[in-house]
Amino acid sequence: MMKGTVISIEDSMASVMTEDCRIIRTPAGPDTVIGKEITMKNNTQHEVASASSKKWVAVLVAATVLLFAGIGLLAQYIIGSRTEYAKISVDVNPSVEFTLARDLKVISVNAKNEDAKEYLIPEDYIGLAWREAVDKWLTTLREENRIEVKDVLISGVFPEDAVKLREQLLLFDEDNAAGVTNGLAVRVIYSNDSEVNRQAEENGLSIGRQMLLNQSKAQSREWNEQNIAKAGLGELVQALLGEGQQNQTRITEKNAGVESQNGDPTGEGAIISNKEQNGEPGNGEPTAQETNREQNTEKTGSAQQSGSTARETNDPPAGSTARDTTRKPGQG
């Protein structure tokens, strides 16, 4: 008796790969199928010729390689489709944040405040293309009638090479008169610096409000980590964002460098100090060069005044001449 796995069936005969890697031909029963392990009787076996056996072994090896390659590609696709590639936040008053895979579909969604939790059903958004998810969220808010949707900030953090995502995002700035954004004041901002994600997580903010916070710091405005979450969105956008100011990457990088300078959020202190060291005026205070010039002027003036006094002491009285000093006694 011998066991093996059926690898093909031809003309009522099954080719079986044995445990010792031989190819055996045996009659195929009605229940014999490819891939099934069978037990063969010795009197029904017929070993395939050596050359044919090698051929079947090569075919089997090639099939195995292709199978594992396919499994690897499938695993890579599955992992890639579940790995974070970008974030998109939508701020109205309820704020939500979508996490996107490389195919720009939603793999997770988070409510960023209590208002959003009241309306958000995360399962409804998983697997949607990100623009479809944004439209669905805005539609939900507008249909509830309990929230006045007027100002909308759509923000993204994604790699610099995410050209397609950037182009799709900027379309929201151009399509305000159509679709679900009709009648809404929509602003779009984005950053290619993933540091925004860390800052937003640390401050409990959406990535959109985090970028507004970075603008507030850069402009030395009154909004900070404690009060920006509750500030009116329309007020923030009007005060902090200029026209066409969509790319916020440099603001993030600037703040990252500035915050390391002794906690000075604007960098003005460092700038002024450098100017003063270089002899440039700052805030109306005299610089080191100006102070030195004043001291030198005072010393020069004092020296000139002392020399003048000495000369006056040695000069003869006015109206006298050298002849006066040489007159003999009794001459008048």
Give the pLDDT confidence of 2-24 residue by residue, as tens digits: 888 888 888 888 888 887 888 88
Residue 308 and residue 299: Cα distance in Å, rounded? 14
Residue 47's pLDDT is 60
Amino acid at 109: V
DSSP H or E segment with residue 15: strand 13-18
For residue 98, what are its two tokens? 């979508």
Residue 169's pLDDT is 94
φ/ψ (deg, to 5) at 25: -100, 135
**Cβ-based neighbours of 60, under 8 Å, separated by 6 or more:** 7, 17
Comparing CA positions, the residue from 85, 211, 210, 99 lying closest to residue 159 is 85
Residue 130's pLDDT is 97
List helix spans (H) across 3-157: 50-81, 114-119, 130-144
- Cross-strand pairs, 86: 100
Residue 25: strand, helix, or coil: strand
Give CA separation, 273 vs 149, 221, 292, in Å: 46, 21, 17
Residue 320's pLDDT is 41
DSSP code for 285:
B
Given a contact cutoff of 8 angstroms between Cβ atoms, the answer to whether 152 and 94 are in contact is no
Residue 105's pLDDT is 96
Report, as ranges of residue numbers, the positions in the chain whose pLDDT lies below 50.
49, 75, 79-80, 262-300, 302-332
CB burial string 265-286: b at 16+ within 10 A, e below: bbbeeeeeeeebeeeeebeeee
For residue 217, what are its two tokens? 């710091």
Give pTM, 2 decimals: 0.56
Residue 3's pLDDT is 83
Residue 255's pLDDT is 64
List helix spans (H) across the chain: 50-81, 114-119, 130-144, 163-174, 195-203, 207-218, 233-240, 249-258, 268-277, 288-314, 322-326
Residue 302's pLDDT is 47
Cα within 13 Å of Cα(284), Cβ side: 0
